[in-house]
């Protein structure tokens, strides 16, 4: 049985028996206090209402439609049936049965998830049979869609630095444990420590496509670059550019601030790199794009 068949079978089992009843029993009661309730025990059920679509349900739970289809093989044609029930995971991701002879550490490596994060998300079980593997680097509601797909599909190398001098990384990109709540979350960018008022600059030439308040990002500037790449600068104090403006590398965009819902109270720049895909703007690890 190949992997996708296994996953499908697993999902069918999940659909038939319900996750909560199936997985609650596999929970270790002696797990350390610091561990979360396993992600598999935190699935919700959603009964499809009149007028709902796969997209609207995904949006409501801040998930991608891909995640919903993975968890609910019955909707793989993209259609939902009024009255049917969907399994709703706490994050984007997939359910994986650990192949015999393998460990969850090997699964973490295969799916490029930090081993300690996978461990905590799954309730710190020493030897789980089935794990939830988070896959959260996709923005479910892309703020900006490209008016036309990028014509240049070659990898264009962009490198620059969004601050005037190299800053300490408060939190890197990827799955992280929130410093205050202890919850796992996907950090879609990198937090660079800098005092309020520090200059924030464009890492490469491009067009400003967003320059205003946006939810937890606070004051946000987004630049679209050539090659289907995008950079985002969040929690700004002041914005000094406007939508439609062309900027060059090093141009002033605004200043570091604490607007929105920053993860840390220490002032920092939340910096993101994203690339255009069928699923929207997918977050990338900014590290590869940073060069002072
Ligand atoms: Zn951040």
- The percentage of residues in the chain with a pLDDT greater than 90, rounded to a whole number, is 39
| Cβ-contact 245, 208 below 8 angstroms | yes
Whether 96 and 9 have beta carbons less than 8 Å apart is answered as no
pLDDT digits over 118-142, tens only? 888 888 888 888 888 887 554 433 3
Tell me phi and psi for residue 200, to 5 degrees: -110, 130
3-state secondary structure at position 198: coil
- Look at phi and psi of residue 54 and say left if phi exceeds 0, alpha if psi is from -120 to 50, else beta: alpha
Bridge partners of 200, per DSSP, are 163, 254
Give 190 Cα–ligand 1 centroid separation in angstroms: 6
Distance, CA of 238 to CA of 241 (rounded, Å) = 9
pLDDT for 148 equals 34
Average pLDDT over residues 202-229: 94
CA of 32 to the centre of ligand 1 (A): 27
Ligand 1 center from residue 216 Cα (angstroms): 10
Cβ-contact 230, 222 below 8 angstroms: yes
User: Between the ranges 50-54, 62-66, 155-159, where is the mean pLDDT highest?
Assistant: 50-54
Greatest pairwise CA separation for the chain in angstroms: 58
Distance (Å, whole) CA 154 – CA 187: 27
From the CA of 131, how far away is ligand 1's center (Å)? 26
pLDDT-based confidence at residue 272 (cuts at 50, 70, 90): very high
Residues with Cβ < 8 Å from 189, sequence gap 6 or more? Answer: 173, 232, 234, 270, 271, 272, 273, 283, 286
Q: Is 106 helix (H, G, I), strand (E, B) or coil?
A: helix
Mean residue pLDDT of the chain comes to 79
Distance in Å, CA 272 to ligand 1 centroid: 8
Name the nearest CA neighbour of 118 among 39, 14, 11, 3: 39
Q: How confident is the model at residue 147 (pLDDT cuts 50, 70, 90)?
A: very low
**Mean of pLDDT values over 204-230:** 94
Domains and CATH numbers, the chain: 3-134 (3.10.350.10), 169-289 (2.70.70.10)
- State whether residue 283 is helix, strand or coil: strand
Higher-pLDDT residue of 177 and 54 is 54
CA of 42 to the centre of ligand 1 (A): 25
Q: Which helix (H) or strand (E) holds 260?
A: none
What's the 81 CA to ligand 1 centre distance in angstroms?
38
Q: Please report the pLDDT score of residue 245 as a whole number.
A: 97
Residue 4, pLDDT > 70, answer no
| Confidence (pTM) | 0.57
Task: List the single range of 20-24, 68-72, 111-115, 139-143 with lowest mean pLDDT.
Answer: 20-24
* Average pLDDT rounded to a whole number, residues 9-17: 37
Residue with tokens 């605004």: 254
Sequence-separated (6 or more) residues with CB below 8 Å from residue 257: 196, 218, 219, 235, 236, 237, 238, 267
Q: How far is the CA of 29 from the centre of ligand 1 (A)?
A: 33
Q: Which of 51, 56, 57, 50 is nearest to 83 (CA)?
A: 50
What does the pLDDT look like over 154-193, one tens digit per residue? 445 788 999 999 999 999 988 777 888 777 777 889 999 9
Give the Å distance between the CA of 70 and the centre of ligand 1: 28
Pairing of strands 93-97, 130-134: antiparallel
- Residue 117, SS3 per DSSP: helix
């Amino acid at each position: 049985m190949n992997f996708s068949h296994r996953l499908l079978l697993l999902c069918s089992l999940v659909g038939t028996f319900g996750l909560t009843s199936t997985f609650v029993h596999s929970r270790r009661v002696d797990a350390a206090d610091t561990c979360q309730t396993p992600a598999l025990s935190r699935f919700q059920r959603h009964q499809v209402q009149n007028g709902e679509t796969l997209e609207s349900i995904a949006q409501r739970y801040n998930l991608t439609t891909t995640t919903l289809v993975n968890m609910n093989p019955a909707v793989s044609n993209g259609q939902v049936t009024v009255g049917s029930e969907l399994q709703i995971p706490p994050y984007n991701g997939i359910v994986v049965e650990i192949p015999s002879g393998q460990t969850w550490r090997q699964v973490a490596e295969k799916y490029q998830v930090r081993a300690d994060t996978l461990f905590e998300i799954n309730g710190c079980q020493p030897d789980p049979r089935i794990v939830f593997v988070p896959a959260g680097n996709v923005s479910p509601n892309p703020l900006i869609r490209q008016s036309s797909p990028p014509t240049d599909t070659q990898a264009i190398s962009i490198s620059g630095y969004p601050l005037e001098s190299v800053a300490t990384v408060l939190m890197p990109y990827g799955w992280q444990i929130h410093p205050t709540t202890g919850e796992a979350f996907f950090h879609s960018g990198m937090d660079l420590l800098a005092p309020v008022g520090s200059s924030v600059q464009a890492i490469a030439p491009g067009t400003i496509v967003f320059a205003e308040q946006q939810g937890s990002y606070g004051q946000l500037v987004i630049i679209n670059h050539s090659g289907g790449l995008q950079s985002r600068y969040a929690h700004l104090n002041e914005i000094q550019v406007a939508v439609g403006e062309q900027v060059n590398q090093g141009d002033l965009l605004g200043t570091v601030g604490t607007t929105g819902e920053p993860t840390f109270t220490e002032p920092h720049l939340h910096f993101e790199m994203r690339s255009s895909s069928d699923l929207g703007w997918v977050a990338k690890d900014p590290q590869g794009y940073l060069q002072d």
